[in-house]
Structure 1
Amino acid sequence: MSDTDLTSVLAGARLLPVLTVPNADAAAPLAAALVAGGARCAEVTFRTPDAEQVLKAMAAHGGLTVGAGTVLTPEQAERAVAAGARFVVSPGFDEGVVSRCRELGVPVVPGIATATELMRALRAGVGTVKLFPAESLGGLRTLRALAAPFPQARFVPTGGIGADLLAGYLAEPSVMAVGGSWMVTTAHLERGDYDAIRRLTAEAVEGSTP
Structure 2
Amino acid sequence: MGAATVCACPSPSLGLLCNFPSQSSSFRTRVSCSSPPTSLSPVDKTLSRIKNSGVIACLRANSAELALEAAHAAIGGGISVLEIVMTTPGVFEVLQQLVQEHPSMVLGVGTVLKVEDAKAAISAGAKFLMSPATVKDIMEYVQYSETLYIPGVMTPTEILSATDAGAKIVKIYPVSALGGFQYISTLKKPFSQISIIASQGITIDSIGEYITRGASSVVLSDAIFDKEALVQNNFNKIYQLARSAALRGSEAVERQKS
* Class of the TM-score when normalised by the shorter of the 2 chains: over 0.9
Which has more strand, going by share of residues?
2
User: Are 1:36 and 2:76 counterparts?
Assistant: yes
Q: Secondary structure at the match of 2:199?
A: coil
**Residues 112-151 of structure 1: per-residue CA shift (max 9 Å, x gap):** 1001110111101213110101111111222122211112
- Residue among 240, 249, 252 paired with 1:199: 240
Using the TM superposition, give the Cα deviation of residue 74 of structure 1 relative to its aligned residue in structure 2, in angstroms.
1.1
**Residues 12-60 of structure 1: per-residue CA shift (max 9 Å, x gap):** 2111000002211124432321222111110001013322222222222
- Residue among 75, 97, 100 paired with 1:57: 97
**How many residue pairs get matched?**
209
* Higher relative contact order, chain-length normalized (CA < 8 Å, sep 6+): 1
Which has more helix, going by share of residues?
1
Q: Which residue of 1 aligns with 2:65?
A: 25
Q: Which amino acid in 1 is paired with 2:152?
A: G
Q: Which amino acid in 2 is paired with 1:41?
A: V
Q: Which whole-Å CA distance do the structure 2 matches of 1:21 and 1:155 have between them?
A: 26
- Residue among 131, 147, 160 paired with 2:172: 131
Q: Which runs of 5+ in 1 are unaligned?
A: none
Q: Which residue of 2 aligns with 1:149?
A: 190
Q: Which runs of 5+ in 2 are unaligned?
A: 1-40, 252-258
Q: Which residue of 2 aligns with 1:5?
A: 45
Using the TM superposition, give the Cα deviation of residue 61 of structure 1 relative to its aligned residue in structure 2, in angstroms.
2.0
Larger-Rg structure = 2
Matches of residues 32-181 of structure 1 in structure 2 within 5 Å?
Answer: 32-62=72-102, 64-172=105-213, 174-181=214-221
TM-score (norm 2): 0.76
Q: Which whole-Å CA distance do the structure 2 matches of 1:104 and 1:209 have between them?
A: 28
Using the TM superposition, give the Cα deviation of residue 190 of structure 1 relative to its aligned residue in structure 2, in angstroms.
2.2
User: Are 1:14 and 2:54 counterparts?
Assistant: yes
Q: Which whole-Å CA distance do the structure 2 matches of 1:66 and 1:134 have between them?
A: 23
Q: Secondary structure at the match of 1:157?
A: strand
Is residue 188–residue 196 contact of structure 1 (8 Å, CA) maintained in 2? Answer: yes
Using the TM superposition, give the Cα deviation of residue 64 of structure 1 relative to its aligned residue in structure 2, in angstroms.
2.7
Q: Which whole-Å CA distance do the structure 2 matches of 1:205 and 1:108 have between them?
A: 22
CA shift in 2, pair 1:123/1:86, >3 Å: same
Using the TM superposition, give the Cα deviation of residue 205 of structure 1 relative to its aligned residue in structure 2, in angstroms.
1.4
TM-score (norm 1): 0.93
Using the TM superposition, give the Cα deviation of residue 69 of structure 1 relative to its aligned residue in structure 2, in angstroms.
0.4
Q: Which whole-Å CA distance do the structure 2 matches of 1:27 and 1:58 have between them?
A: 10
Q: Which amino acid in 2 is paired with 1:30?
A: A
Q: Which amino acid in 1 is paired with 2:91?
A: A
Is residue 176–residue 200 contact of structure 2 (8 Å, CA) maintained in 1? Answer: yes
Is residue 21–residue 51 contact of structure 1 (8 Å, CA) maintained in 2? Answer: no
Q: Which whole-Å CA distance do the structure 1 matches of 2:113 and 2:175 have between them?
A: 19
Using the TM superposition, give the Cα deviation of residue 103 of structure 1 relative to its aligned residue in structure 2, in angstroms.
4.0
Using the TM superposition, give the Cα deviation of residue 7 of structure 1 relative to its aligned residue in structure 2, in angstroms.
2.1
Q: Secondary structure at the match of 2:126?
A: coil
**Which has the larger displacement, 174-183 or 19-28?**
19-28
Residue identity over aligned pairs, in percent, reads: 26
**Which has the larger displacement, 105-114 or 50-59?**
50-59
